[in-house]
């Protein structure tokens, strides 16, 4: 049997010694009877899991038997989970290892002490309550059947499970921060143990070694900066070839080597993009130049596998499809996406707005849950050059009284400052769509379909600021507009049935020609506005009953991609 999703799961931090645990696991509902089989990493609600049951079960169990390869013998063995929704307890050979809470982010554990020389067994108990609205769940519906903007639930393992072998002393993490203005890059490293080691860093561009640096340290953490000498790269054009953009996604490769007593104990491969995101004088800049963002809302759902991409190639196909239609990025909506997607966005040149799945009831428990998971997302995905913005809250979900409630406004502001305490390199949106607090970008959700109404709304700053989408002001009470860049980050949502699903949209097209005209009617006023600096169209594909995609659920464009591209570039003739 072929093992599904067999690609390396952490492409920003690569080691050679690893073992994929995807494939067939034993599985059961409610009790650990293990009377079923399931294909990991697909949730039991999906076709690709082999179970394909949508009934709600608050508890599910997994069991997997495996043998370690000889190459891992004598080393520390780390067990990794890409994502398990929502809370899980893990045993290895009946030894309790840990409990983890958070359904959308990666986590790991040292299982060396529990391993046997021959056959080993992993057991998971997963708890996921559909009725708990304080859980960050995103678009997963708490009722039995999906409807409106909410979709089928995901329970249990839904990203890759894998093992990794390391020495006692090894590189745990490196945060890479490019400094475009000074053509240097900062490395913040974390090393296990408190022994004297050497950390060697090799930087390559186009397979050419351009910089080597070695530091000696006894510390578990530290930092250093390396200069990128343009004289060595004199055959390359700086703006076209050395910086990272969607048009020219140039990457520098990095190899880290850890030496102890002259012996290599760890080797890790990584990469970075020489890329800068900034806001100056109310304008969004990429690499110190004005940059208009043309994004698609991307729920990251597939008909046969829900939140899990059927294959790694499906990530590539989605990016290629979006770029062929004239888009340069996506807002990953209500989902922390698989690192494999971010890797392809990095290598193919595609902007990403990072977001987290929302909860729907405000409480201290909600704040604790979403904050911890949000921190983990920022720390995990910090190095990806494709990510150009962070969005911790969307449309006041989880903070429905933020317009007036000071504690909810404080939560929004705290998420901004918490994000900036971890990442000073990207703008942060306080509450995407409306009722902003201390936001870096003023983002607007506007599903008006009439071209003349949109032209009037976006022709002046005064008209924009008095607009209240869905009756909600753009800024929460007590907060003022301070000249931030303005982007329309949800709009359109034109329904046009061309797939197998019946459903709805914010307006409806009756033919290919009508769809093209309606798309032009909502895009052209934004392109013509002197105040709008980017947009995010709803959405790239249909998702279940929400049939407002530019493509069907199975990724077939509803009209010619050349037409969509021409409209996005302002070249379409009526």
Tens-place pLDDT, residues 342-396: 999 999 999 999 999 999 999 999 999 999 999 999 999 999 999 999 999 999 9
Instruction: Tell me what the mean pLDDT of segment 538-558 comes to.
Output: 97
DSSP state of 240: I
Right CATH number for 18-166 from 2.60.120.260, 3.30.465.10, 1.10.287.110, 2.40.50.1070? 2.60.120.260
pLDDT confidence of residue 1: 41
Evaluate if residue 240 carries a pLDDT over 80: no
pLDDT of residue 574: 67
Question: Range with the lowest mean pLDDT among 169-173, 239-243, 308-312, 527-531?
Answer: 239-243
pLDDT at 170: 96
Compute the average pLDDT of residues 169-180: 97
Average pLDDT over residues 513-528: 97
Nearest-angstrom CA–CA distance, 476 and 209: 51
Task: Enter the DSSP assignment of 463.
Answer: H
Written out in words, the top-level CATH class of the domain with range 292-568 is alpha beta
pLDDT digits (tens, 9 = 90+) for 74-129: 999 999 999 999 999 999 999 999 999 999 999 999 999 999 988 999 999 999 99
Would you state the pLDDT for residue 232?
A: 81
Instruction: Give the pLDDT of residue 179.
Output: 96
Structure tokens given for 435: 């009722």
Mean pLDDT of 444-465: 98
Return mean pLDDT, the chain. 96
Pick among 2.40.30.10, 3.30.70.980, 2.60.120.10, 2.60.40.10: CATH of 171-272: 2.60.40.10
Give the number of other CB atoms < 10 A from CB of residue 200: 15
% of the chain surpassing 70 pLDDT = 99
Considering the entire predicted model, what is its pTM?
0.97
Distances (CA, A) of 10 to 310, 369, 420: 17, 24, 24
Q: Which of 170, 190, 164 is nearest to 82 (CA)?
A: 164
Q: Pick the closest to residue 436 from 401, 403, 391 (CA basis).
A: 403
- Per-residue pLDDT, averaged over 444-467, amounts to 97
Whether residue 86 has a cis bond before it, omega within 30° of 0:
yes
Q: Based on the number of CB atoms within 10 Å of its own CB, is 131 exposed (0-12), middle (13-18) or buried (19 or more)? A: exposed
The domain limits of the chain are: 18-166, 171-272, 292-568
**Three-state secondary-structure class, residue 309:** coil
pLDDT of residue 405: 97
Give the three-state DSSP class for 80.
Answer: strand
How confident is the model over 456-462, as a mean pLDDT?
A: 97
Closest CA to 359 of 367, 349, 348: 367
Residues 495-512 as b or e (16 or more Cβ within 10 Å = b): bbbbbebebebbbbbeee
Separation between Cα atoms, residue 377 and residue 385, nearest integer Å: 15
In sequence order, the β-bridge partners of residue 23 are 40
Q: What percent of the chain is predicted at pLDDT more than 90?
A: 94
Q: Please return the burial class of 50, using the count of CB atoms within 10 Å of its CB with bins 0-12, 13-18 and 19+.
A: middle
353, 389 in Cβ contact below 8 A?
A: yes
pLDDT of residue 230: 77
pLDDT digits (tens, 9 = 90+) for 291-347: 999 999 999 999 999 999 999 999 999 999 999 999 999 999 999 999 999 999 999
Q: 111 with 124: CB under 8 angstroms?
A: no
DSSP-based three-state secondary structure for 481: coil
């Amino acid at each position: 049997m072929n093992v599904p999703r067999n690609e390396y799961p952490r492409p920003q931090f690569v080691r050679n010694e690893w073992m994929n645990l995807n494939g067939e696991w034993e599985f059961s509902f409610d009790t650990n009877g293990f009377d079923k089989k399931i294909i990991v990493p697909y949730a039991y609600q999906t076709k690709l899991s082999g179970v394909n049951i949508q009934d709600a079960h608050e508890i599910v169990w997994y069991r997997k038997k495996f043998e370690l390869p000889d190459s891992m013998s004598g080393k520390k063995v780390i067990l990794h989970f890409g994502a398990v929704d929502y809370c899980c307890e893990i045993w290895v050979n009946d030894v309790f290892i840990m409990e983890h809470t958070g359904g959308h982010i990666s986590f790991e554990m040292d299982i060396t002490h529990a391993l046997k020389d021959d056959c080993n067994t992993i057991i998971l108990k997963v708890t996921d309550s559909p009725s708990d609205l304080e859980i960050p769940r995103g678009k997963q519906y708490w009722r039995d059947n999906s409807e409106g903007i909410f979709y089928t639930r995901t329970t249990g393992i839904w990203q890759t499970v894998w093992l990794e072998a390391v020495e006692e002393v090894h590189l745990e993490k490196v945060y890479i921060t490019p400094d475009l203005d000074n053509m240097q890059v900062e490395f913040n490293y974390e090393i296990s143990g408190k022994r004297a080691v050497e950390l060697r860093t090799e930087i390559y561009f186009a397979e050419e070694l351009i910089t080597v640096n070695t530091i000696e340290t006894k510390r578990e953490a530290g930092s250093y900066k390396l200069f990128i000498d343009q004289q060595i790269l004199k055959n390359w054009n700086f703006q076209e070839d050395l910086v990272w953009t969607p048009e020219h996604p140039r990457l520098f490769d990095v190899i880290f080597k850890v030496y102890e007593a002259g012996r290599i104990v760890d080797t890790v491969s990584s990469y970075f993009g020489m890329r800068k995101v900034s806001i100056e004088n109310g304008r969004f800049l990429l690499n110190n130049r004005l940059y208009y963002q043309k994004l698609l809302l991307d729920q990251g759902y597939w008909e046969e596998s829900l939140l899990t991409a059927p294959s790694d190639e499906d990530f590539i196909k989605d990016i290629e499809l979006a770029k062929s239609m004239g888009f340069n990025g996506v807002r990953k909506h209500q989902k922390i996406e698989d690192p494999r997607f971010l890797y392809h966005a990095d290598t193919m040149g595609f902007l990403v707005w990072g977001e987290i799945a929302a909860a729907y009831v405000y409480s201290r428990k909600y704040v604790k849950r979403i904050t911890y998971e949000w921190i983990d997302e920022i720390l995990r995905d910090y190095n990806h050059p494709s990510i150009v913005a962070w969005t911790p809250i969307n449309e006041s979900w989880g903070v429905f009284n933020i317009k007036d409630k000071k504690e909810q406004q404080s939560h929004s502001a705290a998420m901004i400052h918490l994000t900036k305490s971890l990442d000073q390199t990207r703008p942060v949106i306080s509450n995407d769509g409306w009722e902003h607090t201390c936001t870096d970008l003023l983002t607007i959700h506007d599903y008006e379909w009439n071209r003349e109404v949109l032209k009037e709304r976006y022709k002046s700053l005064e008209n924009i600021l008095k607009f209240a989408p869905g009756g909600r002001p753009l800024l929460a009470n007590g907060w003022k507009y301070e000249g931030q860049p303005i982007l329309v980050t949800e709009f359109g949502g034109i329904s046009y049935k061309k797939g197998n699903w019946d459903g709805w949209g914010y307006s409806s097209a009756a033919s290919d020609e009508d769809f093209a005209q309606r798309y032009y009617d909502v895009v052209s006023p934004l392109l013509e506005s002197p105040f709008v600096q980017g947009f995010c169209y709803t959405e790239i594909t249909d998702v279940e009953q929400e049939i407002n995609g530019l493509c069907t659920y199975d990724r077939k464009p509803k009209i010619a991609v050349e037409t969509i591209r021409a409209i996005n570039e302002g070249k379409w003739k009526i």
